[in-house]
Chain A
Amino acid sequence: MSIVGPLLIASLWVVPIWLSTRDTDQKTIEILDDSGYFNEKFTETSSLKFEYIQTDLVAAKTEILSGENYGLLYIPRINIDDPEGITFFSGKNPSIEVIQDLEWAMKSVVEDIKLERSSIDQATLDSLRADIDIDMINMTESGEKAGSAGVATIIGYISALMIYFFIFVYGIQILRGVIEEKSSRIVEVIVSSVKPFHLMMGKILGVGAVGLTQYVIWLVLSIMITTGISSYFNIDRKDSLPAQTEQAEIIQEDQGNEFVAEMFNSLESIDFGLLAFAFFVYFIGAYLLYGSLFAAIGSAVDNDADAQQFQLPVTIPLIFSLIVLTAILREPDGSLAFWLSMIPLFSPVIMMMRIPFGVPYWEIALSLTFLIAGFIFTTWLASRIYRIGILMHGSKVNYRILGKWLFMKN
């Protein structure tokens, strides 16, 4: 899994890119234009080719039925102010994409005609258009930096998701591990050598260490594979481009470079030292917090199926924090964001989303204090349940019994 994982992750990025760059079959569309406005006005694209015909509609329709061409666009004599009756005939249901392309092309033709009618030429029109691009500057005490909501969002999302997935995947692994030890009865031999608390912490830390190693391998391999494959595809694409579009491609590339440059500029606005530190501590804190809860659940039940009912209350806060991310994104400094980042169950995911947008140090410090208190509390809670749970077999456990175990003396 350590090796296959990164391949799977890389394929998540690469396959859609590959699919979208793949050449689709060029479809031929017949144009029967009774209005005369659209003759030779459609431009050929990589997916669409146009043939202008002059027969009558009935003959054209029968030809479409023969199946050689994709479809027939019939334009009757239309009133340019109220174009109606334009119809697309095809053997199959046409794709939305094709229809939209046709509609866009016709729209611009009609607009041009209307513009001409109001004696505005293309040059005048172009000079009327405006292009506005707001530069974002983050002001900090150490100076001004280019900011970017986009970059902050991406970084926030990635780090929040990484914490979320790590807890989920390895939390479940802790749960499974504890259930296995309990149901295979090895646990009684081991707790006759070490304290239950030590066994539990050993399990949590051990799975955590395995997980971190796996994560790092995944991360490195994923980046390697993704960059490797995507650079391969870039080269591939350039080679296959027809000569006349090179010009456009260069312009696009320039824009792309500009975008990348802007991204890099705005990366400066993010305090990566703080981000790395926060990621590390929230990561560890969240893992310990949730990990001990998963260990407690595992100790209380006899098999995976019984674990379901107790798993839900633990996973819901985790899923909830992922769902509210969009709301946090809308207002990274709002009161919802603030309060959720004070609650240890939510704070790791929420804070990772917020930190790229800038969070005051005192808030981070306060939130971390609560998180540490939180995981000390859940570890205590879990160890109380664990020490009794692992030796209990066959009895159905419910929340009342768990509560009783909690306050049972040693």
Chain B
Amino acid sequence: MKDINLEVPKQSIFGLLGPNGAGKTTLIRIITQIIFADTGKVHFDGRVINAEDVRKMGYLPEERGLYKKMKVGEHLIYLARLKGLSRNEALTKIKYWFKKFQIVDWSDKKIEDLSKGMQQKIQFIATIIHDPSLIILDEPFSGFDPINVNIIKDEILELKKNGATIIFSTHRMESVEELCDHIALINKSNVILNGSKHDIKQNHRTNTFIVDYTGEFRNTNEHFLVTEESKTDEGYIRSTIKITNDQSPNDLLSLLIREVVVHSFQEKIPTMNDIFISKVNEELNA
């Protein structure tokens, strides 16, 4: 990885994005001190990270795994104690989470007897059982059905509300859109995009508008460019119109009103998906 310089604000959800093989897992492993960077430093709570800090972190790796022969309860106790919890603390926490996830009678079940989704749930609990201040989730939703995805989403938001900072790595852009406050896009070991979701979206506005209308639109202005035209189900014509920077949406609208009957006028705001694809392609072409 080269010149990675990222800042994760406290009590935020930080989306770590990038195509496969970009170096996300490597970066996460450096943060969790599983591996060490040749050069460079990781700061935690405003100071250089130390070995003790891993106890304040909870890490859910992309590839999940538990000891198959162990019972759910003792497995969670084991992992919690590795993070420094006492046995009793662990038991209290387990009770709390079991109740919350409505799996109170799971304690004596063997891991191998659980379905994959159920195992994921256990692993999620294991990640957060010690109330970490930094939670790192690598593809947390994989393997969950839509209902459980929502449960986990709500949990993530609540963890944030309770003060945790969450680093969130995923390829599912709609969940980035929904959850993340900050985003960093990594490609080929470089940071190519970094900032708050709001800023990034602002910066990627292309002054493009989507208009539904009836009538015939004769484009007389060279500052306007119709890039796409289609018919909607309602029988309107839908045009995607890009305007140059010195023009305002009102200029476009006033021209439109003179020519056609406008049924809807909307700015085309890029989705994270669009931004992701265009940014990575930009790099590819460069």
Pair from one complex? yes
* Residues on B with beta carbons closer than 8 Å to the beta carbon of A196: 34
CA distance A194 to B29 in the complex (A): 13
Q: Which of A186, A192, A193, A391 contacts B65 (CB 8 A)?
A: A186
CA distance A191 to B67 in the complex (A): 14
Given contacts A184-B67, A185-B61, A186-B66, 7 further A-B pairs with CB under 8 A are: A184-B66, A186-B67, A188-B34, A188-B63, A188-B65, A195-B51, A410-B36
Which residue of chain A has the shortest Cβ distance to B29 in the bound complex?
Answer: A391
Q: List 23 A-B contacts (CB under 8 A).
A: A184-B67, A184-B68, A185-B61, A185-B63, A185-B65, A186-B65, A186-B67, A188-B65, A189-B59, A189-B65, A189-B123, A190-B79, A192-B33, A192-B34, A192-B57, A193-B54, A193-B82, A193-B83, A195-B51, A391-B29, A391-B34, A393-B63, A409-B38
Whether B32 lies near A192 (C-beta < 8 A) is yes
Question: How far apart are A22's CB and chain B's nearest CB, in angstroms?
Answer: 44
Q: Indicate whether B186 reaches chain A with its CB closer than 8 angstroms.
A: no
Q: Indicate whether B64 reaches chain A with its CB closer than 8 angstroms.
A: yes
Q: Indicate whether B126 reaches chain A with its CB closer than 8 angstroms.
A: yes
Q: Indicate whether B114 reaches chain A with its CB closer than 8 angstroms.
A: no
CA distance A391 to B54 in the complex (A): 18
Chain B window 27-54, contacts with chain A (Cβ cutoff 8 Å), 1 for yes, 0 for no: 0010011111010000000000001001
* Chain A interface, number of residues (Cβ within 8 angstroms): 18
* Residues on A with beta carbons closer than 8 Å to the beta carbon of B36: 410
Whether A189 lies near B34 (C-beta < 8 A) is no
Question: How far apart are B114's CB and chain A's nearest CB, in angstroms?
Answer: 14
* Residues on A with beta carbons closer than 8 Å to the beta carbon of B64: 185
* Residues on A with beta carbons closer than 8 Å to the beta carbon of B61: 185, 188-189, 192
Q: Indicate whether A187 reaches chain B with its CB closer than 8 angstroms.
A: yes
Q: Sorted from nearest, which 6 A-B pairs have the closest CB atoms?
A: A185-B65, A193-B82, A184-B65, A186-B65, A192-B59, A185-B63
Question: How far apart are B26's CB and chain A's nearest CB, in angstroms?
Answer: 10
Chain B window 56-91, contacts with chain A (Cβ cutoff 8 Å), 1 for yes, 0 for no: 010101011111100000000001001100000000
Which residue of chain B has the shortest Cβ distance to A187 in the bound complex?
Answer: B65
* Residues on B with beta carbons closer than 8 Å to the beta carbon of A195: 51
B residues near A (Cβ < 8 Å) are 29, 32-36, 38, 51, 54-55, 57, 59, 61, 63-68, 79, 82-83, 123, 126
* Residues on B with beta carbons closer than 8 Å to the beta carbon of A190: 79, 82
Question: How far apart are A298's CB and chain B's nearest CB, in angstroms?
Answer: 15
Question: How far apart are B126's CB and chain A's nearest CB, in angstroms?
Answer: 7
A residues near B (Cβ < 8 Å) are 181, 184-196, 391, 393, 409-410
Question: How far apart are A388's CB and chain B's nearest CB, in angstroms?
Answer: 8
Which residue of chain B has the shortest Cβ distance to A388 in the bound complex?
Answer: B35
CA distance A101 to B34 in the complex (A): 74
CA distance A190 to B51 in the complex (A): 14
CA distance A190 to B123 in the complex (A): 12
* Residues on A with beta carbons closer than 8 Å to the beta carbon of B79: 189-190, 193
* Residues on B with beta carbons closer than 8 Å to the beta carbon of A410: 35-36
CA distance A188 to B55 in the complex (A): 15
Which residue of chain A has the shortest Cβ distance to B61 in the bound complex?
Answer: A188
Question: How far apart are B14's CB and chain A's nearest CB, in angstroms?
Answer: 18
CA distance A243 to B192 in the complex (A): 101
CA distance A97 to B191 in the complex (A): 86
CA distance A409 to B126 in the complex (A): 31
Which residue of chain B has the shortest Cβ distance to A409 in the bound complex?
Answer: B38
* Residues on A with beta carbons closer than 8 Å to the beta carbon of B35: 391, 410
Which residue of chain A has the shortest Cβ distance to B82 in the bound complex?
Answer: A193
CA distance A188 to B67 in the complex (A): 12
* Max chain A Cβ within 10 angstroms of own Cβ: one of B34, B54, B68: B34
* Residues on B with beta carbons closer than 8 Å to the beta carbon of A391: 29, 34-35
CA distance A199 to B34 in the complex (A): 12
* Residues on A with beta carbons closer than 8 Å to the beta carbon of B34: 188, 191-192, 196, 391
Question: How far apart are B232's CB and chain A's nearest CB, in angstroms?
Answer: 48
Question: How far apart are B100's CB and chain A's nearest CB, in angstroms?
Answer: 21
CA distance A180 to B33 in the complex (A): 22
* Residues on B with beta carbons closer than 8 Å to the beta carbon of A409: 38
Which residue of chain B has the shortest Cβ distance to A194 in the bound complex?
Answer: B82
* Residues on A with beta carbons closer than 8 Å to the beta carbon of B59: 188-189, 192
CA distance A361 to B229 in the complex (A): 96
CA distance A6 to B54 in the complex (A): 45
* Residues on A with beta carbons closer than 8 Å to the beta carbon of B67: 181, 184, 186
CA distance A410 to B39 in the complex (A): 11
* Residues on A with beta carbons closer than 8 Å to the beta carbon of B38: 409
Which residue of chain A has the shortest Cβ distance to B80 in the bound complex?
Answer: A193
CA distance A188 to B51 in the complex (A): 16
